[in-house]
Structure 1
């Protein structure tokens, strides 16, 4: 089965959902990963699909016109001061065809985290969706062992481990550690590379503006990806320099071309 590639929102930061869909279709992606949960960050579109009915209709119409599908929606952050009821958001995502939700844990309170993810997974299950748990370097849980323990405590079949290659690299998670976990526990994959001079850069800058094309950076992607099941890859690769040099469309095309080259080595 051919590997599926999705265009993540952050690859072209600030992009409107409709433009992201059209760009992904033109570049040859299979799906899109949309940010439909407003995060309130400056410079980002706040896609409130519950209240903005015209926007929801426009996104659905654009999906139909382009033949694109939505892979996942983002971002559910678990933290004490954030909501735990996402039913309406998940319902809208499911109506657009999304099968997955991206999430991360931002609380040190393990008891709260287990309870919160249990509730969120139950809500997602109502719409046949998986919740993918990521471990950003700046979040409360920032390695594979940590999210695996939380997954075990939640005991929700639709809670999956989501591996972003950048965070796998920084956490020094090995292919052997990945292979020690049952394949069905893993979900989607964020694909990118880390610049070779990453040790000279601020991690936040690297995460949000300096990710490298797959195969051109410091991450040993092939052995890591070989250890994972052949699940869809969402390309999350913001790079201000490349967008300036190639334009947003050129950057998106190069992301996919480099990703396919790496995955050919993985899947052969």
Structure 2
């Protein structure tokens, strides 16, 4: 079974959602990701959640190209989370045909995180969506072991771990932990390369993750070892935000090169 490839939201390097669908279709991606909720207070995103005209244009582009929506970004769980606040977001992405929701955690109270995440799984299950919990070293869920524990404790069909090669490389988790992660706990993986050596401060980790990832093969992450444990039929989200590179060669060429390098890495 051949794997599907998705153009991650950040790989668009700022293009609007309609253009992102076009880039995906032009370069051979099967799917695309959209961000409808911001990653932070300074995250300037396109108004796909509120703008009905933009929604219609995106749906038309998807119908015309055959590109489908893989995942939606993002739900952030924090101490003040009210899950019902996400209902408009979930209604919108369900209309777009999304399969998965990227979930991040801004809370250090793991007991509360567990309760909120499990309740979120219940809510998403009603939409036939999954809650893909991403571990990031500067967040409340810092590593693979923590993410796996939360997902397994939830014990819900919608619960899953989101594995990102950059965060894995930076968080201290081991290849043995990834190899031992049941494939049933994953729906897709995010692949990129990253600079080495690197600044370990939270601010620098965030900056690289959001604006300066590298195309596979151009950085210092041992992607070849990681790739051995990615199932043949696992959907791959190609996530290469690199604003400097996009300014130089254009977002379309970044998307093309990133997919070509990822396919070469995985032998596709």
TM-score (norm. length: structure 2): 0.91
Q: Structure 1: which 5+ residue stretches go unaligned?
A: none
Q: Which moved more, 1:99-108 or 1:200-209?
A: 200-209
Q: 1:152, CA displacement in angstroms? A: 2.2
Change over 3 Å in CA distance of 1:115–1:200 after alignment to 2: closer
Q: 1:193, CA displacement in angstroms? A: 0.5
Do residues 227 (structure 1) and 226 (structure 2) align?
Answer: no
**In the alignment, what sits opposite 1:188?**
188
Distance in 2, matches of 1:90 and 1:248, equals 28
> Which deviations, in whole Å up to 9, do the C-alpha atoms of 1:132-183 show, x marking residues without a partner?
1001221111111111111122222211010110011012322211222322
Do residues 69 (structure 1) and 68 (structure 2) align?
Answer: yes
> Which deviations, in whole Å up to 9, do the C-alpha atoms of 1:74-113 show, x marking residues without a partner?
1010002344122332232122111111111111112211
Q: Does the 8 Å contact 2:15/2:251 carry over to 1?
A: no
Q: 1:28, CA displacement in angstroms? A: 1.4
Distance in 2, matches of 1:165 and 1:35, equals 20
Do residues 250 (structure 1) and 253 (structure 2) align?
Answer: yes
Do residues 172 (structure 1) and 175 (structure 2) align?
Answer: no
- Give the match's secondary structure for 1:81: coil
Q: Does the 8 Å contact 1:40/1:46 carry over to 2?
A: no
Distance in 1, matches of 2:48 and 2:25, equals 23
Distance in 1, matches of 2:43 and 2:135, equals 24
**In the alignment, what sits opposite 1:103?**
103
Distance in 2, matches of 1:139 and 1:33, equals 22
Distance in 1, matches of 2:25 and 2:46, equals 22
Distance in 2, matches of 1:228 and 1:31, equals 18
Q: 1:41, CA displacement in angstroms? A: 4.2
TM-score (norm. length: structure 1): 0.91
Q: 1:200, CA displacement in angstroms? A: 8.6
Distance in 2, matches of 1:43 and 1:66, equals 28
Residue correspondence of structure 1 range 98-247 to structure 2 within 5 A? 98-199=98-199, 202-230=204-232, 231-247=234-250
Q: Does the 8 Å contact 1:78/1:107 carry over to 2?
A: yes
Do residues 52 (structure 1) and 55 (structure 2) align?
Answer: no
Distance in 2, matches of 1:215 and 1:259, equals 9
Q: 1:13, CA displacement in angstroms? A: 3.3
Q: Structure 2: which 5+ residue stretches go unaligned?
A: none
> Which deviations, in whole Å up to 9, do the C-alpha atoms of 1:225-244 show, x marking residues without a partner?
22233311111111122112
**In the alignment, what sits opposite 1:18?**
18
- Give the match's secondary structure for 1:198: coil
Q: 1:43, CA displacement in angstroms? A: 5.9
Change over 3 Å in CA distance of 1:40–1:223 after alignment to 2: closer
Distance in 2, matches of 1:242 and 1:155, equals 41
Equivalent residues, number: 264
Q: 1:35, CA displacement in angstroms? A: 0.6
> Which deviations, in whole Å up to 9, do the C-alpha atoms of 1:3-59 show, x marking residues without a partner?
21111111233321111111111121110011122456446224352x422222121
